[in-house]
Copies of this chain bind each other. A is one copy, B any other.
């Protein structure tokens, strides 16, 4: 039940759920709501749900899952860390723009900021996400941190990443709930107009996407295989030794590829569950 085929099924299912999440939020803001603009009107607010679903939900999910893709196991760990960090930094930028959109819209319309539970938990999630990325860069990407520190912080790095992802999903669902109660007055949300049903499905797709991501990153049999390089090697040197993904692809035997990385310190180099 835990083989390659099963992983591919889960990956395709998450891709599909992620695709439908983005499609549904896009159709919602473009067809049912006021579209997209940057003029302080409702259409500016719409960047908020759109960018959060694209970034903080879907892209973050794939940034978390990227180490588990079997065809990346031939790539150097350093390259994978760069992709992981790059995706997360992109998510942080999208989340920041989405927050600017909502604050700008509120200020323009004299709507108070930061009063709802959604806003409290959402801002906390984005701030913690920034802290998580900063610590991740300092400890795991740059070659300064000692191996013991990397090993000590690893379970916290993995757990807090998943916690922020989960909290992001919960906060998104709260935000969609808020928006539906605000926006659906005539006909009212409680009369289940087509928009209500449509957006309820958006929530379901977000949850299904999250469930598949959590499943993929918590199954031990789908971990990136252990590698060995000297303890003294930093991320840069590791990168030089292993060249890049393209070079690795030349080698036909996966096992042989892995053996190129001799003596890699396991504790300091692994960063998924």
Contact = CB atoms under 8 A, between A and B. Distances in A.
Interface stretch (A79-87, A117-125, A226-234, A240-248): A117-125
A152 interface: yes
A139 B273 CA distance: 27
A159 B167 CA distance: 17
A215 interface: yes
B200 A117 contact: yes
Interface string A79-122: 00000000000000000000000000000000110011110110
A132 interface: no
A69 interface: no
A199 B112 contact: no
A177 B180 contact: no
A116 B170 contact: no
A203 B117 contact: yes
Contact of A117 (B116, B120, B173, B218): B173
Given A112-B191, A152-B1, A181-B181, A159 B215 contact: yes
Contact of A116 (B121, B177, B219): B177
Contacts of A261: none
Interface string A172-183: 011011101110
A131 to B, nearest CB: 15
B218 A159 contact: yes
A155 B176 CA distance: 32
A115 B214 contact: no
A191 B112 CA distance: 7
Interface string A30-50: 000000000000000000000
A143 interface: no
A171 B180 CA distance: 15
Contacts of A180: 116-117
